């Protein structure tokens, strides 16, 4: 069962997080409700940072904000001394509103618009991760117009694709992201960028996938990149100051998942980079990483109220909750699995197996199939674990269902960081129809 951070069962048999009984959170904020265990996010952030420090490696740990992008979350990342990845003008805008130091912001994406690049330059963000030739030329032309120079990383695809348990080695990776390292594109990009006056190449970036449970893929990617860097040093006197190895460190959603300790990934990867750079006589670059899920995923819990039920004789019992694919689209999108308990009767013995349905008009809106639970009915509370990453950030208003609020809990204090959407919020962009029907 879920056993992370400050979560525990209290004397009343209720789930408690950050020193607060979640039943009282439900009474105060209503359901559905996203709850984040702030102490656990801090612990994860410090785990990554301390590992770099212990190994004496200069580093940046950038929170991939797409996992959960909100002003309060970015401020928390800043408190912990993290850097920040953004992938759109909207995430960058949120970061600026959060007062996040621009020099520690990195901008990703495979199709950044001119407006987004101009915005990034105006805010003087730390670096732009250039994805393709179109962007490289566009950025150079904007920098020339403005007589500016910006730091960039070149995103390369080393031909390793990680799929949770296994990874695929492809000669030429079929991915929409980045410059291919194997077919000469990356080298061409480097040569062009080195001739440009508006960009300064700090180094290379790669991101091989998400929810990865082992370090083999990361190490292979690092090996391939370092091999190339060695060639480029000899041929172009290019030295990479930074090597960004992306994010993708896996977390444990259910008992089937067996990730490493987050910091353990870093340790093994760094050691490999140290070994390979030594072998090739290269200076050890700064290592940047970009965890998203592994910083916030298991710190998030979604609390729902149970409502209706339906019994299909000899098949199954459905229990419906007051949320679903609106606030957690991952089961519908990727068949993602979650664990859950009754938050108000957490010590009660398991009595039956039920399936948890969302409230959207969509048969695919099923949150959990075949969940062992005590006999539950309306007004019981269901807590679904590990919903901190790609939950709120992928939330939507399908069926015009308002998005739930987000509350941070720490040291017995609760703080609302996103309020519940209202019906007025839902219609605020709508404009009344002006055309009339000609009779
Ligand atoms: C999504 C993404 C990340 C974060 O991935 P997680 O699996 O959440 O750790 C990091 N870097 C890049 C470039 C990404 O696209």
Distance between Cα 62 and ligand 1 center (Å) = 10
pTM attached to this predicted model: 0.96
Quick one: which atom of ligand 1 is closest to the CA of 155? 13
Same domain, 253 and 366: no
Distance between Cα 209 and ligand 1 center (Å) = 7
Is residue 124 part of an annotated ligand binding site? no
Distance between Cα 290 and ligand 1 center (Å) = 6
Instruction: Count CB atoms within 10 A of the CB of residue 10.
Output: 15
Same domain, 122 and 257: yes
Mutational test site, ligand 1, from 132, 251, 292, max ligand atoms within 8 Å of CB: 292
Can you give the residue range of the structural domain that contains 229? Answer: 108-291
Same domain, 257 and 353: no
Same domain, 307 and 273: no
In a domain, 262, yes or no: yes
> In this structure, what CATH number is given to the domain that contains residue 259?
3.20.20.10
C-alpha dist (Å) from residue 112 to 27, 134, 154: 43, 10, 14
Nearest to 69 by CA among 45, 92, 36, 40: 92
DSSP 3-state assignment of 188? helix
Same domain, 200 and 222: yes
Distance between Cα 178 and ligand 1 center (Å) = 14
DSSP string, 163-185: ETTEEEE-SS---SSSEESSSSH
In a domain, 334, yes or no: yes
Choose the final residue of a domain: 229, 257, 291: 291
Give yes or no for a contact between 149 and 143, defined as CB atoms under 8 angstroms apart: yes
pLDDT at 141: 98
Quick one: which atom of ligand 1 is closest to the CA of 62? 10
Same domain, 126 and 202: yes
User: Could you say which of 127, 143, 360, 361 is catalytic?
Assistant: 361
Quick one: which atom of ligand 1 is closest to the CA of 205? 13
Tell me whether residue 206 is one of the annotated catalytic residues. no
Give the residues of the chain that fall short of pLDDT 70: 1-2, 163-173
| Dist. CA 184–CA 187, nearest whole Å | 5
pLDDT at 15: 98
Is residue 291 part of an annotated ligand binding site? yes
In a domain, 271, yes or no: yes
| Dist. CA 418–CA 64, nearest whole Å | 19
pLDDT at 408: 98
Q: Tally the domains of the chain.
A: 2
Same domain, 281 and 355: no
Pocket of ligand 1 (CB under 6 A): 64, 66-67, 85, 108, 207, 210, 246-249, 290-294, 389
In a domain, 99, yes or no: no
pLDDT at 59: 97
pLDDT at 84: 98
In a domain, 153, yes or no: yes
In a domain, 55, yes or no: no
Same domain, 26 and 121: no
Choose the final residue of a domain: 291, 326, 345: 291
Choose the final residue of a domain: 291, 319, 352: 291
In a domain, 85, yes or no: no
Is residue 362 part of an annotated ligand binding site? yes
Query: Which residue owns the Cα nearest ligand 1 atom 10?
Result: 247
Same domain, 133 and 227: yes
Same domain, 274 and 191: yes
Nearest to 80 by CA among 421, 379, 410: 410
In a domain, 355, yes or no: yes
| 76's tokens | 């928390």
pLDDT at 432: 95
DSSP 3-state assignment of 236? helix
Same domain, 355 and 398: yes
> In this structure, what CATH number is given to the domain that contains residue 315?
2.40.37.10
Same domain, 304 and 238: no
Is residue 47 part of an annotated ligand binding site? no
pLDDT at 175: 82
pLDDT at 2: 66
pLDDT for 309-359, tens place per residue?
999 999 999 999 999 999 999 999 989 999 999 999 999 999 999 999 999
Quick one: which atom of ligand 1 is closest to the CA of 290? 10
Distance between Cα 208 and ligand 1 center (Å) = 9
| 391's tokens | 């939950």
Is residue 99 part of an annotated ligand binding site? no
pLDDT at 50: 96
């Amino acid at each position: 069962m879920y056993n992370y951070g400050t979560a525990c069962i209290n004397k009343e048999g209720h789930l408690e997080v950050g020193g607060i009984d979640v039943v009282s959170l439900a009474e105060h904020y209503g359901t559905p409700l996203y709850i984040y265990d702030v102490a656990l996010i801090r612990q994860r952030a410090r785990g990554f940072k301390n590992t770099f420090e212990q190994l004496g490696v200069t580093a940046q740990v950038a929170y991939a904000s797409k996992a959960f992008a909100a002003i309060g979350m970015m401020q928390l990342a800043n408190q912990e001394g993290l850097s920040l990845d953004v992938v759109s003008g909207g995430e960058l805008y949120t970061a600026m509103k959060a007062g996040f130091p621009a020099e520690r912001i990195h901008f990703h994406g495979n199709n950044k618009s001119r407006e987004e690049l101009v915005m990034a330059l105006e805010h003087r963000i730390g670096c732009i991760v250039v994805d393709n030739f179109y962007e490289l030329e566009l950025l150079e032309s904007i920098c020339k117009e403005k007589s500016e120079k910006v730091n960039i990383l070149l995103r390369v695809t080393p031909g390793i694709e990680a799929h949770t348990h296994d990874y695929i080695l492809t000669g030429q990776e079929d991915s929409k992201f980045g410059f291919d390292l194997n077919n000469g594109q990356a080298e061409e990009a480097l040569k062009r960028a080195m001739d440009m006056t508006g960009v300064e190449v700090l180094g290379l970036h790669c991101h091989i996938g998400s929810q990865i449970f082992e370090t083999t893929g990361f190490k292979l990617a690092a090996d391939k990149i370092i091999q190339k860097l060695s060639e480029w040093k000899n041929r172009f006197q290019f030295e990479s100051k930074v090597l960004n190895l992306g994010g993708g460190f896996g977390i444990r959603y259910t008992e089937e998942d067996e990730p490493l300790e987050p910091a353990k990934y870093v340790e093994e990867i760094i050691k490999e980079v140290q070994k390979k750079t030594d072998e090739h006589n290269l200076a050890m670059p700064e290592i940047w990483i970009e965890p998203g899920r592994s910083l916030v995923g298991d710190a998030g819990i979604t609390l729902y109220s149970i409502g209706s039920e339906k019994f299909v004789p000899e098949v199954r019992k459905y229990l419906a909750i007051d949320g679903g694919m609106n606030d957690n689209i991952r089961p519908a999108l990727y068949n993602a699995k979650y664990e859950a308990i009754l938050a108000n009767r957490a010590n009660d013995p398991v009595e039956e197996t039920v399936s948890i349905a969302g409230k959207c008009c969509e048969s695919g809106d099923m949150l959990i199939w075949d969940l062992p639970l005590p006999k539950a009915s309306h007004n019981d509370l269901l807590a679904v674990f590990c919903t901190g990453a790609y939950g709120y950030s992928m939330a939507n208003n399908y069926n015009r269902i308002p998005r739930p609020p987000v509350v941070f809990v720490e040291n017995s204090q609760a703080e609302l960081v996103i309020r519940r959407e209202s019906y007025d919020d839902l219609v605020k962009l709508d404009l009344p129809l002006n055309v009339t029907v000609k009779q």
